[in-house]
Amino acid sequence: MKMLNVSISPHIRTSRTTTKVMLDVIIAMSPAMIFGYIYFGWYALLISVLSVSSCVLTEFVYEKIMKLPVTIGDLSAVVTGLVLAMCLYSTSPWWIPVVGGVFAILVVKMLFGGIGQNFMNPALTARCFLLLSFSRIMTAYPSLTDGVSAATPLSMAAAGQHVSYFEMFFGTHSGSIGETSTIAILIGFAYLLIRRVISPRIPLCVIGSTVAFVALFTVMKGETVTLNYLTVHAMGGGLLAGAVFMATDYTTSPVTKWGRVIYGIAVGLITAVIRCFGGSGEGISFAIITANLLTPIIEKLTYPKPLGTYGKKAETK
């Protein structure tokens, strides 16, 4: 008989791997992205391709140069590239996704030690970096009728206009490539939940608290809160996509049960503050990367209590 394997238990493993998890995330993002390609046109697809290739190549080249094992097979760089493309406008010049991808992977991910080590969401940090560096280009809304800059639902709502529910639900309005279609994002969300890739805690807390705080702040400012106004905040901007695909990034969000709740609420609060009091109408990206920085401390505060140390114990003792 040949040598038998001897190892410490357990002797079986789930078939799920890091790569499969990332693949699930990619599948979940695809309805929203495909909708963006159809609605905004082929150039949106090109931006995704550039962004993904830039991320993957950067990781590959960095690891080759540093003589590290190549990890692009885990598909996490593809996810980063897609998330970046998701929150760019389809009118961005071609080099925007390229620069963003390099920044996301090189500066935010690899220099901090690669997968699982970075403390801010790479794609979102890159987006904010682009926003700060090239703000004029980054805030030029894509238009559908040539030459005219179409307003996003958020900017319309800020101007007191009514926004069509139908448009918000299907996503036929101006915005970032993968962020406009509520229904497409919800399909992705459902997929992630069914496959148990994420728990619903973070997205629900982010969305719920953003809406609640926006309502609160609006009332505090003495303005009226309408259902349409709140719906726009929930579905008309990048909130949904941010809550489902970006705030739930494994590496940069807490792993504890209650930590996820606190983190979700923190993201919502910061988003609402930026939206109601800040200059930018969006805010979700900044909110997420700010909350990312709080993750270690939130995790520490919510360290789980072991089974036998709380609740009903021996009555006889």
Partner 1 sequence: MIKKTFRGGVHIKDMKHLSSGSAIKEYKPQTDLVYLMNQHIGAPAVPCVKPGDRVLVGQTIAEPGGFVSAAVISSVSGTVKTVAAHICHNGDNALAITVANDNEYEAVEGFGVERDYTQMTAEEIIAAVKAAGIVGMGGAGFPTHVKLSVKPGIKIDYIICNGAECEPYITCDYRLMLEQADKAVLGMKIVLSIFKDATGIFGIESNKPEGIAKVKEACKDEPRLSVVPLKKKYPQGGERVMITALTKRRINSKMLPADAGCIVLNFSTAIAIAEAVAYNKPLTHRIVTVTGDAVNTPSNFDAPIGTNVAGLVEAAGGFKYEPEKIIFGGPMMGAAVYTLDVPVNKTTSCILLLKKDTAVPEPHECIRCGKCLTVCPEHLMPIKLKNTADANDYAEFEKLNGLECIGCGCCTYICPAKRRLSQSITAAKQFVLAEKKKAAAKK
Phi, psi values for residue 154, rounded to 5°: -65, -40
x/- string (CB under 8 A) for partner 1, residues 8-37? Answer: xxxxxxx-xxx-xx----------------
In angstroms, the CA 271 to CA 286 distance is 8
Judged by CB under 8 A, which of 49, 117, 160, 297 binds partner 1? 117
Instruction: Out of 38, 255, 293, 301, name the contact with partner 1 by CB under 8 A.
Output: 255
User: How crowded is residue 10: how many other Cβ atoms within 10 Å of its Cβ?
Assistant: 6
Half-sphere exposure of 11 (CA within 13 A, CB side): 3
66 binds partner 1 (CB under 8 A): no
Q: How many chain residues touch partner 1 (CB under 8 A)?
A: 50
The reply on whether position 303 binds partner 1 by CB under 8 A is yes
Q: Which residue has the tokens 């690899």?
A: 110
Distance CA 22, CA 7 (A): 28
10 phi, psi to nearest 5 deg? -75, 155
Give DSSP secondary structure letters for 12-30. Answer: ---S--HHHHHHHHHHHHH
Tokens of 254: 């807490």
- Which positions from 67 through 86 interact with partner 1, judged by CB under 8 A? 71, 74, 76
Q: Closest CB to partner 1 among 65 and 314?
A: 314
Position 65 contacts partner 1 (CB under 8 A): no
Which residue in the set 215, 250, 258, 278 belongs to the binding site for partner 1 (CB under 8 A)? 250
Of residues 115 and 158, the one with the C-beta less far from partner 1: 115
Which residue is associated with the tokens 């703000």? 135
Piece in contact with partner 1 (CB under 8 A), picked from 52-60, 115-123, 208-216, 234-242: 115-123
Report d(CA 130, CA 114) in Å as an integer: 21
**Interface ranges with partner 1 (CB under 8 A):** 1-14, 16-18, 20-21, 71, 74, 76, 114-117, 199, 250-251, 253-257, 260, 303-317
